[in-house]
Amino acid sequence: MTKIEQDKEGQTNLGRRRFLTAATSVVGVVAVGAIGATLVDSLEPTAADAAAASVVVDIEPIEPGMQLTIPWQKKPVIIVNRTPAMLATLKKLESDGVLKDPLSHVPQQPPYCENTYRSRKPEWLIMVRICTHLCCIPHYRPKKASVTASWLGGFHCPCHGSMYDLSGRVMKGSPAPHNMAVPEYQFSGDGKTVTITDMFPKAHLC
């Protein structure tokens, strides 16, 4: 078979050849893409992992002013039963204008927590206890003047000194950029337990 014959044959069937090449390529790419996407999808967490990822916490034993920190999806989540006096400090700090994002406009929490208390029920704070600066775990410092002379109670990060109020709202002058993240959660009907389900997708941890 000589080169010339090949060319002649190629020219007579060029259109059909191009169509067949294109059709085979398209089908091949679709098949490879489908199996490739499937294989990569297999590396995603399983439904069982996702089910194990939500945690039910019995909050009845947590007395006013007390906190409980539990592991949730390998992250510490703090549950604080805030007293009326503690809640009053939130309003005061808001009016003093010392908070970076007092109205929680940055979506660090689900929409139902976009309020002063950053919670579904004012007294219950449920929050991922991770500083938005560099992922340290802030100390819980509820007592007045326990960090600075004007301290009203809140969270103080031991790494780089970021300060948060008792709603986890970051104070001006802190290296941390955002308020601490609030996960998605819901209370049971009788209010005795809280189920922490998912991370709020838009929230930025650190």
Where on the chain is the footprint of other proteins (CB under 8 A)? Answer: 1, 24, 31, 38-39, 41-44, 46-49
Q: Give CA–CA dist 67/89, Å, rounded.
A: 17
Closer residue to other proteins, CB minimum distance, 25 or 148: 25
Q: Minimum distance between the CB of residue 19 and other proteins, rounded to whole angstroms?
A: 14
Distance of closest approach, residue 18 Cβ to other proteins, in angstroms: 14
State how far Cα 165 lies from the chain centre.
Answer: 19
Buried b (16+ CB within 10 A) or exposed e, 11-44: eeeeeeeeeeeeeeeeeeeeeeeeeeeeeeeeee
* Nearest distance from C-beta of residue 42 to other proteins, angstroms: 5
Query: Interhelix angle for 14-41 vs 3-12, to 10°?
Result: 80
Nearest to 109 by CA among 204, 203, 205: 203
34 or 135, CB closer to other proteins?
34
Which CB sits closer to other proteins, 28 or 64?
A: 28
Active site residue 156: no
From 105, 160, 178, 204, the catalytic residue: 160
Catalytic sites, residue numbers? 160
